[in-house]
């Protein structure tokens, strides 16, 4: 048996290829949209991808199952659990088998057994893997978004992101029961989840790639809760905001996402064209790091740096229907484009390099915009006197644990739709934890013309480090 681990750190997404060297067959579990990587890996090992499966209809990235099945001719094994809202609509477009709890199939000498583990979603399955050539019992279980390392999948995502009201609590109860069942598995089984630290699909995921049933039972928080009611309360509390694009992903992954069929690279824009786009108020995403953006950017452009959070914020902020343009280094173009494609943002209409920005001044005679970064000391007086409005763009949970005095909390993803909550004539300081998210938010606010917006350098951490006053949910700090 062979097992290969694929990790997309932009999505905190883990996928797997398992293969039987004896027969040359391989299966991919929970593929992402960049399917070339699985094809390349299988080829390198001399394996043929003859099966694909996924644990559930993903909400946080475009599934590669449909395209990989098209490209390889492999059979897709898809969950047939859950009610009619949870049926794969693309199943008949490829070779596919619908599976339920207890079903099993073989890939070469490997046996895969289905275990229905609802909670995160109703149709969610986990997959026990046995190397029948070497062992009578399974070696591990692919748990998808059911059990993570040190955490469990959140049952409220549907309600949060997909707007399916009233599903969070029943989901939490289902999850509780699924965990009870999981706890019956042998201690020594490896646990191979679909996400690592940083995913919005859970709240406390560890930065260790895999775990074991026994370790999770002993030390995973969810297994320490004895009472269902208590569990329901805990699992629903303090979950991070669900990115808005999750709803679109659910829909695409259920209906079947568009086939990429290779990788189109967008056209390069001239500086002149870029200037025209600014004048037309096109959506321009500047992927430079915030420090570079701050010292000179195009009016109206948004700063979403090409860090590991690029995908998340792009998914929050960009509209799936409207073409947009990138400011990106030539060397990072392919990476940026693949990231965007990974969540279905296929509408990249062109790109320009940072050098092209110089044409703004050349052609309009106007300077590039500057984004002032202010220090805690520079704004403390105004903040304490209430002369400056503080907008904290962290998540609600982070906010509750401590924030600047008189701050209002608008998580980054909601900034554009809650503009009306902000003062028009007052200076605004935007802060987050360390200054990264606030830089994005500040660029959004300035992009809609709020030119008194400042970014707090170092964020809440630096404010606190300097011993300045803090408020907490239930009183002053």
Q: Where in the sequence numbering do the catalytic residues fall?
A: 432
Task: Quickly count: other Cβ atoms within 10 Å of residue 220's Cβ.
Answer: 23
The region of 37-45, 77-85, 392-400, 420-428 touching a copy of itself under the rule CB under 8 A is 37-45
- 170 touches a copy of itself by CB under 8 A: no
Interactions with a copy of itself, residue window 54-93 (CB under 8 A): 71-73
- When the beta carbons of 296 and 405 are compared against a copy of itself, the nearer one is 296
Q: Residues 114-153: x/- map of binding to a copy of itself (CB under 8 A)?
A: --------------------xxxx-x----------x---
- When the beta carbons of 135 and 237 are compared against a copy of itself, the nearer one is 135
Please state, in angstroms and rounded to a whole number, the distance separating the CA atoms of residues 408 and 188: 48
The region of 39-47, 82-90, 239-247, 312-320 touching a copy of itself under the rule CB under 8 A is 39-47
Q: Which of 351, 285, 284, 345 is nearest to 320 (CA)?
A: 345
Kindly tell me which residue out of 200, 269, 314, 345 binds a copy of itself, with binding defined by CB under 8 A: 269
- 41 touches a copy of itself by CB under 8 A: no
Q: Concatenate the DSSP letters of all residues of 128-178 into one string.
A: EEEETTT-SS-SEEEEETSEETTEE--TTHIIIII--TT-HHHHHHHHHHH
Kindly tell me which residue out of 219, 255, 385, 449 binds a copy of itself, with binding defined by CB under 8 A: 219
3-state SS, residue 397: helix
Q: Which of 40, 36, 37 is nearest to 7 (CA)?
A: 37
Least distance to a copy of itself from the beta carbon of 159, Å? 29
Please, are residues 64 and 54 in contact by the beta-carbon 8 Å criterion?
A: no
Please state, in angstroms and rounded to a whole number, the distance separating the CA atoms of residues 221 and 100: 28
Kindly tell me which residue out of 108, 153, 458, 459 binds a copy of itself, with binding defined by CB under 8 A: 458
Least distance to a copy of itself from the beta carbon of 34, Å? 11
The region of 118-126, 260-268, 380-388, 394-402 touching a copy of itself under the rule CB under 8 A is 260-268
Interactions with a copy of itself, residue window 331-360 (CB under 8 A): 331, 350, 353, 355-356, 358-359
Kindly tell me which residue out of 27, 152, 249, 294 binds a copy of itself, with binding defined by CB under 8 A: 294
Structure tokens at 407: 């701050």
Please state, in angstroms and rounded to a whole number, the distance separating the CA atoms of residues 18 and 23: 12
- 299 touches a copy of itself by CB under 8 A: no
Q: Which of 299, 296, 292, 293 is nearest to 277 (CA)?
A: 299
- Give the number of C-alpha atoms closer than 13 A to the C-alpha of residue 138, restricted to the C-beta side: 24
- 22 touches a copy of itself by CB under 8 A: no
Interactions with a copy of itself, residue window 179-218 (CB under 8 A): 186-190, 197, 206-215, 217-218
Q: How far is CA 214 from CA 118, 180, 218, 353, in A?
A: 21, 13, 6, 51
The region of 42-50, 93-101, 442-450, 468-476 touching a copy of itself under the rule CB under 8 A is 42-50
3-state SS, residue 275: helix
Structure tokens at 71: 């490209």
Please state, in angstroms and rounded to a whole number, the distance separating the CA atoms of residues 336 and 353: 13
- 261 touches a copy of itself by CB under 8 A: yes
Kindly tell me which residue out of 93, 100, 268, 385 binds a copy of itself, with binding defined by CB under 8 A: 268
Least distance to a copy of itself from the beta carbon of 59, Å? 25
Task: Quickly count: other Cβ atoms within 10 Å of residue 184's Cβ.
Answer: 8
Interactions with a copy of itself, residue window 396-425 (CB under 8 A): none
């Amino acid at each position: 048996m062979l097992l290969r681990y694929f990790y997309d750190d932009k999505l905190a997404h883990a996928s797997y290829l398992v293969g039987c060297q004896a027969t040359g067959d391989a299966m991919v579990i929970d593929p992402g949209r960049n399917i070339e990587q699985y094809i390349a890996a299988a080829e390198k090992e001399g394996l043929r991808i003859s099966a694909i499966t996924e644990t559930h209809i993903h909400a946080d990235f475009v599934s590669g199952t449909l395209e990989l099945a098209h490209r390889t001719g492999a059979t897709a094994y898809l969950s047939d659990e859950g009610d009619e809202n949870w049926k794969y609509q693309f199943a008949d477009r490829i070779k596919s088998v619908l599976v339920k709890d207890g079903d099993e199939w073989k890939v070469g000498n490997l046996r895969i057994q289905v275990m229905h583990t609802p909670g995160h979603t109703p149709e969610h399955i986990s997959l026990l893997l046995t190397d029948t050539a070497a062992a009578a019992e399974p070696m591990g279980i692919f748990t998808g978004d059911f059990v993570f390392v040190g955490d469990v999948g959140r049952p409220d995502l549907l309600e949060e992101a997909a707007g399916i009201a009233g599903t969070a609590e029943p989901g939490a109860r289902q999850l509780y029961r699924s965990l009870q069942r999981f706890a019956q598995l042998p201690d020594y089984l490896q646990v191979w989840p679909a996400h690592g630290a940083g995913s919005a699909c859970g709240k406390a995921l560890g930065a260790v790639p895999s775990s074991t049933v026994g370790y999770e039972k002993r030390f995973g928080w969810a297994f320490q809760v004895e009472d269902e009611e208590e569990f329901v309360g805990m699992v629903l509390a303090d979950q991070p905001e669900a990115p808005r694009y999750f709803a679109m992903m659910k829909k695409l992954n259920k209906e079947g996402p568009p086939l990429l069929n290779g990788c189109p690279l967008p056209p390069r824009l001239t500086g002149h064209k870029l200037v025209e786009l600014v004048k037309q108020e096109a959506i321009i995403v500047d992927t430079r790091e915030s420090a570079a953006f701050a010292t000179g950017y195009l009016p109206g452009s948004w700063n979403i740096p090409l860090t590991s959070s690029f995908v998340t914020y792009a998914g929050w902020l960009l509209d799936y229907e409207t073409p947009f343009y990138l400011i990106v280094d030539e060397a990072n173009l392919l990476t940026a484009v693949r990231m965007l494609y990974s969540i279905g943002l296929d509408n990249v209409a062109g790109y320009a390099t940072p050098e092209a920005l110089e044409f703004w001044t050349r052609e309009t005679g106007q300077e590039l915009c500057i984004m002032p970064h202010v220090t805690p000391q520079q704004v403390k007086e105004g903040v304490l006197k209430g002369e400056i409005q503080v907008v904290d763009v962290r998540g609600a949970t982070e906010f509750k644990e401590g924030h600047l005095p008189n701050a209002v909390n608008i998580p980054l993803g909601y900034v554009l739709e809650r503009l009306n909550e902000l003062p028009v004539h007052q200076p605004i300081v935007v802060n987050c934890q360390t200054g990264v998210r606030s830089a994005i938010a500040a660029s959004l606010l300035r992009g809609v013309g709020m030119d008194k917006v400042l970014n707090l350098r170092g964020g809440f951490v630096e404010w606190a480090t300097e011993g300045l006053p803090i408020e907490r949910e239930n009183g002053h700090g």
